[in-house]
Amino acid sequence: MEIKPVAFFRSPLPEKFGLPRQAGVAASLRGTVVLEPPFRAPEALRGLDGFDYLWLIWGFHLNRETASEGLTVRPPRLGGNERVGVFASRSPYRPNPLGLSSVRIERIDAAAGEIHVLGADLADGTPIFDIKPYVEYADSHPGVRSGFVDAHGWQPLQVTFPREAYHRLAPAELDALEEILAQDPRPQYQDDPERIYGLLFGDRNIRFRVAGGTLTVIEIS
């Protein structure tokens, strides 16, 4: 079977560093699904305005390493040290490098072949191989077990911005950036309160450090 992208994703996040680790955790983060010809036509999106969420099936195009033949991976939720089976994880390093994300539809521009969405965990330029509507009665399973995720809670960081941030970022951008940073984009094995990290957000470089449970943005350049 040969599959080709039906769309590409546009996002203010061009790199893996800083990407939300799951769809929906940065609910204010805006992105756009841009359909490829010959799908860039209103007919392809007819009826989609009756749905609130989409499933996106996409490719991990930023993976530099090829998928190993190992059967286990180290999820960030487990601190990056404990291993679980690859099929018990959502690791990007998989036998086939495919991702699955549920995103909220913000608006649809059928004439331009664009779907504007919220809460995606895709980087800029991500190829999208299929788009399916989210159907609540079939896709929602409240109250079910979630394996090791249930036993290892994730405490968001408190994020503080310098005063300049409120002049250089629009309120919606600031909300999205705060949600991204609160999830702690650092590798889980790094905990150096003096280290300064840089995260690309659109055309800005967000420099920050983390000490304890607080992430402090020190510069926006």
Q: What is the DSSP letter of 108?
A: E
Q: Which residue has the higher pLDDT, 110 or 188?
A: 110
Task: Tell me the pLDDT band of 206, cut-offs 50, 70 and 90.
Answer: very high
Instruction: Supply the pLDDT for residue 1.
Output: 86
So what's the pLDDT on residue 7? 98
- pLDDT tier at 120 (50, 70, 90 boundaries)? very high
Say if CB 176 and CB 26 are below 8 A apart. yes
Name the residue ranges covered by the structural domains of the chain: 7-139, 153-220
Q: How far is CA 128 from CA 32, 40, 111, 119, 210, in A?
A: 11, 14, 19, 16, 34
Q: How confident is the model at residue 79 (pLDDT cuts 50, 70, 90)?
A: confident
pTM above 0.85, yes or no: yes
Look at residue 68 and tell me whether its pLDDT is greater than 70: no
Q: Give the pLDDT score at 75.
A: 83
Q: What are the helix (H) ranges across the chain?
A: 136-139, 148-151, 165-168, 171-182
Exposure b/e, 193-219, CB count within 10 A at least 16 = b: eeeebebebeebebebbbeeeebbbee
pLDDT band at 44; cut points 50, 70, 90: very high
Residue matched to tokens 């992208």: 5
**In percent, how much of the chain has pLDDT > 70?**
98
At the fourth CATH level, the homologous superfamily of domain 7-139 is YaeB-like (2.40.30.70)
Cα end-to-end distance, the chain, whole Å: 45
Listed in order, strand segments (DSSP E) in 37-179 are: 53-59, 72-73, 84-85, 98-109, 114-118, 127-133, 158-160
Quick one: pLDDT at residue 73? 86
